[in-house]
Amino acid sequence: MSAVLDRPAVEPHLDPDLDKRDDVRPTGKRLGPGRRRRLAWLLGPGALLALWTVTSATGILDPRILSEPWTVVATAGELIADGRFQENLAISAQRAGLGLFFGIVVGATLALLAGLSRIGEALIDGPVQIKRAIPGLALIPLLILWFGIDETMKVLTITLGVFVPIYLQTHAGLRGIDLRYVELAQTVGLSRAGFIRKVVLPGALPGFFLGLRFAVTGAWVSLVVVEQINATSGIGYMMELARTYGQTNIIVLGLAVYGILGLLSDGIVRFIERKALSWQRTLAG
């Protein structure tokens, strides 16, 4: 027997007083970004908020151009008190959520079909690239003619905006799977389904999550578009109504809500991404 394998695995003892001992070492220049710190992502948005507060308080920023933060908070309080805020937020969130859901399903399915078969790629990739070249706004007149101005049309517009980044990134992730793993799958006798489950899906997951981050932000952007063009409810409608009455504070509140929603949803996706891709060892850490 080879000696190395017979040796029992002994965990080396770690001195409990390690931190108290001298630690003199040469420190080279660190090129990576260093250790991840909790809540560090709040720093940028926080700085922006501080800048807004300070310029408003000192009068540098005219309230007619941009309402003060406290006015916006007060407005939010009023709108929450009479229930209009929750009502509009709920309908907006529902539209974005539905559009996102359908977009993810469509985008991921098309990416798998295009990535796993040559015929699928020949049929799907071209049309998606064409769709990608057409701005979402340009499709709205046609969608209104086909579906009217009810919820179907709104959810569909968001879906059309969402599925493209999901498709593109998932497809790229799929295509980027190392051929060596495909060979491996063959030598261990994986079935087609097993190959998709064990190799293709996890291999395409980093690409999918990148697409998801684009998609989530894109869903909110498409939402603004549909709610400001033709709607009788939703955050965008609330803002559009405020414009006609010159209520800057409500407009700014709407913007802030969109911003917070976008930041929150991106944070959620990144959290899930970190958990799901914990096998990765990257610069992001």
Partner 1 sequence: MAAHPGGLTAVASRPLTNPSADAAKAAVSVRDVVRSFGPKGVLNGVDLDIAPGEFVALLGPSGCGKSTLLRALAGLDHDVRGSGVISVPDRVSVVFQDSRLLPWDTVLGNVTLGLREHDAESRARRALAEVGLAGREKAWPHELSGGEQQRVALARSLVREPQLLLADEPFGALDALTRIRMHGLLQDLVAAHRPAVLLVTHDVDEAIALADRIVVLDHGRIATVRTVAPGIASSADAAGHEALRRDLLTGLGVEAPHAPEPVHPAQPAAVGR
Q: Which is nearer to partner 1, 90 or 188 (CB)?
A: 188
Tally helices (H) and strands (E) across the chain: 12, 0
Pick from 189, 193, 232, 275 the residue near partner 1 by CB under 8 A. Answer: 189
Is 82 in a helix, a strand, or coil?
coil
CA distance 168 to 137: 20
Stretch that binds partner 1, among 44-52, 88-96, 238-246, 271-279 (CB under 8 A): 271-279
CA distance 95 to 220: 9
CA distance 89 to 238: 10
| 282 in contact with partner 1 (CB under 8 A) | no
| 279 in contact with partner 1 (CB under 8 A) | yes
Site string for partner 1, 203-222 (x = CB under 8 A): x-x-----------------
Per CB under 8 A, contacts with partner 1 among 7-26 are 9
Beta carbon of residue 118, minimum distance to partner 1 (angstroms, whole number): 14
Beta carbon of residue 176, minimum distance to partner 1 (angstroms, whole number): 13
| 198 in contact with partner 1 (CB under 8 A) | yes
Pick from 98, 112, 156, 185 the residue near partner 1 by CB under 8 A. Answer: 185
Pick from 2, 58, 232, 244 the residue near partner 1 by CB under 8 A. Answer: 2
CA distance 124 to 159: 17
| 184 in contact with partner 1 (CB under 8 A) | yes
Q: Residue 259 CA to chain centroid, in angstroms?
A: 13
CA distance 85 to 5: 66
| 69 in contact with partner 1 (CB under 8 A) | no
Q: Which is nearer to partner 1, 27 or 187 (CB)?
A: 187
Q: Which is nearer to partner 1, 2 or 232 (CB)?
A: 2
Q: What residues have CB less than 8 Å from 80, skipping those under 6 apart?
A: 86
| 241 in contact with partner 1 (CB under 8 A) | no
Phi, psi angles (nearest 5°) of residue 34: 90, -175
Interface with partner 1: number of residues (CB under 8 A): 26
| DSSP 8-state symbol, 48 | H
| 180 in contact with partner 1 (CB under 8 A) | yes
CA distance 130 to 119: 18
